[in-house]
Structure 1
Amino acid sequence: MPKYVLWGTYCDNVLERRAPYRQAHLEGLAAQKSAGVLLTIGPTQDLRLVFGLYEAADADTVRQLIEADPYWQHGIWTDYQVHEWIQAL
């Protein structure tokens, strides 16, 4: 199955703004991980970018997961790109 890279951006004041949505966000990610579609995800140290790796049938599936996330729906993630990734090693 193809793998996909997510690169996205966070809003300003992310630590404060994410608080009301964090639990639902983490629960959704845990469900994706359990289902095998989410391999890993997390912020950069400076909390400006989010990086994720997915294994899914197609890029639209990944986009649907991102856009269903509370962080996207409430403007915590402000933009994203999904790219098919070729794992060389």
Structure 2
Amino acid sequence: MTKYVLWGSCCEDVVTKRSPFREEHLAGLAQQKADGILVTIGPTQDLTKVFGIYEATDAAQVRHLIESDPYWVNGIWTEYEVKEWIQAI
């Protein structure tokens, strides 16, 4: 499997706006982790960005997971970029 890095941006007032979607979002991430696709994910301390690492068959699979996430669907994540990552160490 290839590793991919996610960098994304969050909307303003993210703590309030994400609240109705948080449980569904976290459940989906937990399932991705259990399935061995999601390595790690989380926001920056200032809650303006999100960073994640995935192990997937291709970038399209990662983009599908991101675009199916309630945070993307409901505008909590406002933009994202996925790059193939070479883990040196």
Post-superposition, which runs of at least 4 consecutive aligned residues in structure 1 deviate over 2 A? none
RMSD: 0.2
Equivalent residues, number:
89
TM-score (norm 1): 1.00
Report sequence identity in percent.
64
- Superposition deviation, residue 85 in structure 1: 0.1
What stretches of structure 1 of length at least 5 have no aligned partner?
Answer: none
- 1:1-89 alignment runs, 5 A limit: 1-89=1-89
Any idea what the Cα deviations from partners look like across 1:14-60, whole Å, max 9, x if unmatched? 00000000000000000000000000000000000000000000000
TM-score (norm 2): 1.00
Amino acid paired to 2:88: A
Amino acid paired to 2:4: Y
- Superposition deviation, residue 74 in structure 1: 0.1
What stretches of structure 2 of length at least 5 have no aligned partner?
Answer: none
Q: Helix, strand or coil for the counterpart of 1:82?
A: strand
Q: Helix, strand or coil for the counterpart of 2:57?
A: coil
- Give the Cα–Cα distance (whole angstroms) in 2 for the partners of residues 54 and 29 of structure 1: 11
Amino acid paired to 2:16: E
